[in-house]
Structure 1
Amino acid sequence: MLIVEDGSGLANAESYVSVSDAVAYAAARALTFPASPTDKAEAALRRATAYIDNTYRTRFPGQRKEFRLQALEWPRVGVVDMNGFPVTSDEIPVEIVRAACEAAVRELAAPGSLTPDVTPGKVKKRAKVGDIEVEYAVGGGGVASQQPISPIIDGILAALIGIGQPFTASAVRG
């Protein structure tokens, strides 16, 4: 049974979102996240939560509410989003829930897709079939440059992790 963080800083929490909430999120956006089989949906939510925590933890503001005693990165204390709005210490921000849902949709469709294993030196740089040869652009970032990028998840978390510019009334008035 999936243990969902309730905002108290549970020591055994495994996910920021329940299966039923992930199903509702996906359905509202015409995405696929079936509730059955439950074990696969729960596993996808566990992996999605781990992805969110592992990928963004160093950019999350504030600090863990229960410090090392809690299993997940949220809830947190001392958090103000980039628009200046405080996030209460018993809250799992909607951005975290939505990001976990988006990640879970991807993980359920292709388990491990958010965190693929990459072996340095084994990334294919060139392929030739018959007379056709293709050379791929190879970044200098090593393994990190081979990790997937999810603009939708970055966008959802932007107000918490500071991507973009803060909203101000003067920016609207121009």
Structure 2
Amino acid sequence: MTLVIETGTGLEDAEAYVPVDALRTYAAGRGVDLTEFDDTACEIKLRLAAQWIDTRWRYKGTRVSAGQALEFPRNGLADWSGFILTGVPKRVKDAACELAIRGLQGATLVPDLDRSGWIKSESVGPISTTYADGAPQSTVFAVAERLLEQFARDPEQQWAPFFGGSTTPLFERGMMSNPPSSLSDDD
């Protein structure tokens, strides 16, 4: 099965953010050998990486088209420096590679979580483990999360209403703030 890569135009059938050859190049540049994995295994992990990226957060801006399969590209998306980004940002592609590598190394990218409660202490024979309160219930992919965090909406604005055309960014915290001096009647 051929992997359909997002070209930066909002494809309706895209499945991944990067092709297998880009994954292999990224991994080699970081000293990770993927030669033991065939292209099919890499494609599967790239699909799961895109799914993880698309479901991890709500992202700033809006998708380029209503019918696009993946969350990127986006209209109204800027980096931390305020530069408008078009297409699929390099950081998204790098995060996809990071996640695919972790998946190939055995990590479950999108695990189902047991809702029976958090384990405070677990013992098997003489070995025991106690987990800290508030510890994450699934693996934290720190590099991927740090690459993507600048594109995530403020957690309090995850479900912000959208008004306007497809190129209008969503409201963000502080967007409509007025400095205290503009609200005084002392003028």
Which interval holds the TM-score relative to the shorter structure?
0.7 to 0.9
Partner of residue 27, structure 2: 26
Counterparts in 2 of 1:124 and 1:10: CA distance versus 1, 3 Å: same
**Aligned ranges 1:69-148 → 2 under 5 Å:** 69-88=67-86, 91-110=87-106, 113-121=108-116, 123-130=118-125, 133-139=128-134, 145-148=136-139
**Aligned ranges 1:142-157 → 2 under 5 Å:** 145-157=136-148
Percent identity, aligned pairs only, is 35
* Aligned-pair CA distance for 1:15: 0.2
Secondary structure of the residue aligned to 1:128 is strand
* Aligned-pair CA distance for 1:116: 1.8
* Superposition CA RMSD, Å: 2.3
Partner of residue 51, structure 1: 52
* Aligned-pair CA distance for 1:158: 3.6
**Maintained 8 Å contact 1:23/1:35:** no
Partner of residue 167, structure 1: none
Counterparts in 2 of 1:158 and 1:136: CA distance versus 1, 3 Å: closer
**Maintained 8 Å contact 1:2/1:14:** yes
User: Counterparts of 1:43 and 1:132 in 2: how far apart (Å)?
Assistant: 36
Secondary structure of the residue aligned to 2:9 is coil
**Maintained 8 Å contact 2:48/2:110:** no
User: Counterparts of 1:132 and 1:70 in 2: how far apart (Å)?
Assistant: 49
Structure holding more helix per residue: 1
**Maintained 8 Å contact 1:82/1:162:** no
Partner of residue 183, structure 2: none
* Aligned-pair CA distance for 1:154: 1.9
User: Counterparts of 1:129 and 1:158 in 2: how far apart (Å)?
Assistant: 38
User: Counterparts of 1:3 and 1:121 in 2: how far apart (Å)?
Assistant: 38
Greater gyration radius: 2
Counterparts in 2 of 1:43 and 1:134: CA distance versus 1, 3 Å: closer
Structure 1 unaligned residues grouped into runs of 5+: 164-174
Counterparts in 2 of 1:104 and 1:133: CA distance versus 1, 3 Å: closer
Query: Over residues 128-156 of structure 1, what are the superposed CA-to-partner deviations in whole Å (9 max), with x where a residue is unaligned?
Result: 355665433343x8xxx302212211221
